[in-house]
A and B are shown apart, each in its own frame.
Chain A
């Protein structure tokens, strides 16, 4: 079945790790530098994430995401570099405007955080099947209902785009122009979107019945179709990450107390 996901099975090291391990990695990559208050740690995680992604041969898939966020970060850099309150030290004088060191450093801090967060999420998302991730969470006590909502979202969106194209065909067949000026497109929108919404409602009702018939709300303990795929390395990594998080929190508390 078609599914909307950036995930691709490459039989890599990351693919083999349990989703839980990768989720804890995301948490660690964000929390440790934040608690330790050390930008170099974020840079370290960033580089490490990149190495992992390269090793899994999925680094290319991060380029579009990095490109878009890079553009946003660049505007932050320009604005903060030029106008941040407290700008004093001129780095680059360009006549009417000048870039200041304080603003640039501040923006650099933001950029490091943004890229670190994006890259560590990439490690998780690009190497994990969404349904595996949800199943693992449900196994750990997450509500199966919410889990189901997430999994079905990943399938629903491509289904809806498919429907959208069938419906576009059906309306074009009735003489509706869908190409051309903005006005024409706007007028075309309603006939296109309403059958999609209507049939999603119908589908939802039927899906609910189908789930109920198969005991979705049954009270007894459920088993899982797939076995948990934890490998020994998972436990080692989880321990290291958790120790790392605890240490950084400890460090933070110590600096407060001092």
Chain B
């Protein structure tokens, strides 16, 4: 089983302000959503996981091995990170070569890389766009290209930074399915998100960041039950949970489906 342990991580960009103030988290096979107000330190946290930033103090262990001695490029074999803005990573002039870039960097042969790339493109639903220039695609499809580019690298861990921004309903549903498929393949899926309904419908665990600390950490249902603590972090409950709360139910439900199922059982 894959795990990432973070032990007492402190981090600051400048001497004046500490951004992460002693984070202790063990990421396990559960899909994990990271939520929190803008500026809470979420992106900083995933950059540390990825080795792009190094902690001032504390340890990060990937399956028991300290990542401090590994270069970012070496870590790329184990941890994939999809950047918030696809334009930051796309540079090839066809979708296929873009998606093959990562696998080739990891030392796969051309044939292997192509196979891996095609599989990834199929997973994100861009099978017949292989020859298109990524910049001719709309932002939402370009985002999917950037996801495929990381999926093709077949890493144990895949991290998404705010993947649902600028996505319509269809786009969100596709991303949701990609995440669930990756989870089913036994990968660790971590994502920074602002869309609470999306979190409730897709993830098993939620970690709430506030001002550089972990405010809440637990399975989604437990986390989203705590309206008061969430408000302290300027977060909302998912819509269905809000409804349950307003109706004065003791137990909350996270998705419309759960809610309806409960109602039908009652009736």
Residues of A within 8 A of B (CB): 163, 166-167, 169-179, 190-191, 194-195, 198-199, 202
Contact = CB atoms under 8 A, between A and B. Distances in A.
Contact of B52 (A163, A173, A175, A199): A173
Max chain A Cβ within 10 angstroms of own Cβ: one of B73, B76, B83 = B73
Nearest to A173: B81
Contacts of A179: 71
Nearest to B101: A174
Contacts of A166: 83, 85, 88
B105 interface: yes
Contact of A170 (B88, B106, B135): B88
B87 A175 contact: no
Closest 10 CB pairs of A and B: A175-B105, A175-B76, A170-B89, A194-B91, A172-B72, A174-B102, A199-B87, A170-B88, A177-B73, A195-B91
Given A191-B101, A198-B135, A173 B72 contact: yes
11 contacts: A166-B88, A170-B89, A171-B89, A174-B101, A174-B149, A175-B73, A175-B102, A191-B91, A194-B91, A198-B135, A199-B87
Contacts of A176: 73, 105
Given A174-B76, A199-B87, A169 B102 contact: no
A171 to B, nearest CB: 7
B143 to A, nearest CB: 13
B78 to A, nearest CB: 11
B117 to A, nearest CB: 13
Nearest to A176: B105
Contact of B153 (A174, A195, A199, A202): A174
Contacts of B47: 169
B88 A177 contact: no
Nearest to A166: B88
Nearest to B85: A166
A58 B135 CA distance: 46
Max chain B Cβ within 10 angstroms of own Cβ: one of A172, A177, A178 = A172
A167 to B, nearest CB: 5
Contacts of B33: none
Given A174-B102, A175-B153, A190 B73 contact: no
A177 B83 contact: no
B91 A173 contact: no
B212 interface: no
B101 to A, nearest CB: 6
B187 interface: no
A49 to B, nearest CB: 35
Given A169-B52, A191-B101, A198-B135, A174 B91 contact: no
Interface string B43-57: 000010010100000
Nearest to B103: A175
Contacts of A191: 91, 101
Given A171-B89, A190-B91, 19 more contacts: A167-B88, A169-B47, A169-B72, A170-B83, A170-B88, A170-B89, A172-B52, A172-B72, A173-B80, A174-B76, A174-B89, A174-B149, A174-B150, A175-B102, A176-B105, A177-B71, A191-B101, A195-B90, A199-B87
B77 interface: yes
A191 B105 CA distance: 12
A191 B88 CA distance: 10
A167 B83 CA distance: 9
B76 A172 contact: yes
A41 to B, nearest CB: 47
Contacts of B71: 177, 179
Nearest to B107: A175
A47 B2 CA distance: 69
A195 to B, nearest CB: 5
A202 B135 CA distance: 10
A169 B50 CA distance: 10
Contacts of B88: 163, 166-167, 170, 195, 199
A177 B71 CA distance: 9
Nearest to B152: A174
A172 B106 CA distance: 11
